[in-house]
Amino acid sequence: MAATAPLGLIGLGMMGLPMARCLLRHGRALLACDPNPAARDALAEGVEPGTVRFAGTPAEVAEEAEFVILVLPDSKVVAHVVEGPGGLLPALRPGHLVVDMGSSLPAETRRLADAAAGRGAAFLDAPVSGGVAKAREGTLAIMLGGEDGPCARAEPVLREMGSPPIRTGPVGSAHAMKALNNYVYAAGLLAAAEAVHMADALGLDTAVFTDVLNASSGRNVATETKLKSDVLTGRYGAGFQLGLMRKDLETAGAVAAETGFDAPGLALCRGLWAEAVASLGPRVDNLEIHRFLGQRREDAR
């Protein structure tokens, strides 16, 4: 791909917009597509003329950009963008590379990869971890699934948004690992939130308790980076929505169903996050699982 060729980018939401800005900082020209005019205006603000252009449909993106990045909320939206009216698929041709950087169902990712291959194009999965803050900084953790050739082609672009990608295996494997990773994170966050509630009920100093966790075997990423700054203060500002965590847990559930593995811990997390979303709504921060647990306890009294 010539250095002057535009990158296609579809999806300028909470993650897509800062990821697009990272690419611009690295000198990329973007051909973007998003139905939200406010998101388009935000991306175009302050950039040099001609650096960012916008397409009306995904097909229009593929007509000009051979490298297309998708930053979309779920597999349903990805399928619509690829296969729906004005979608990518009919416009794909040999040499096209489509990279799904959202959190999608692995089976759907494999299906769309087969459809793209039928047009001579490559389809990779490259989900990210780190939230909005790391998307802004360009320090996301990136997983990458697919064949060696397309992955090698994608890596220089992905490095402009985060750390060197971790190769996970065939297409779909990165989405599976991302979902399982987020399940492990959710389980750690749940345990930490419950433990903080119990420590508080005992009259313990929860800040000191957090220090104990982080100096001991109970530490995890939630205790190290979220408890003092966001949970104990009630700020709840990690930048990852409760509903998105629930979606990732449902994706992990799909992995469990595909493998036939009985995962009772996962079932517990799925149930609690579903309750929390029903109570608090999907758009609050995922750390509000702590607030939900407190409310749940009060309601049970």
134 is catalytic: no
Instruction: Write down the H helix ranges in the chain.
Output: 16-25, 37-44, 58-64, 75-83, 106-117, 131-137, 148-158, 173-201, 206-214, 221-225, 242-259, 264-280, 289-300
- Of the residues 76, 134, 178, 226, which is catalytic? 178
**To 5 degrees, how large is the angle CA 226–CA 174–CA 157?**
90
CB 106 within 8 A of CB 173: yes
Q: Residue 53 pairs with which residues in a beta bridge?
A: 31
Identify residue 107 by its one-letter amino acid code.
Answer: A
- What are 250's two structure tokens? 């449902």
User: Which CA distances in Å does 56 have to 12, 35, 60, 88, 152?
Assistant: 14, 8, 7, 12, 30
| Residues annotated as catalytic (active site), given as ranges | 178
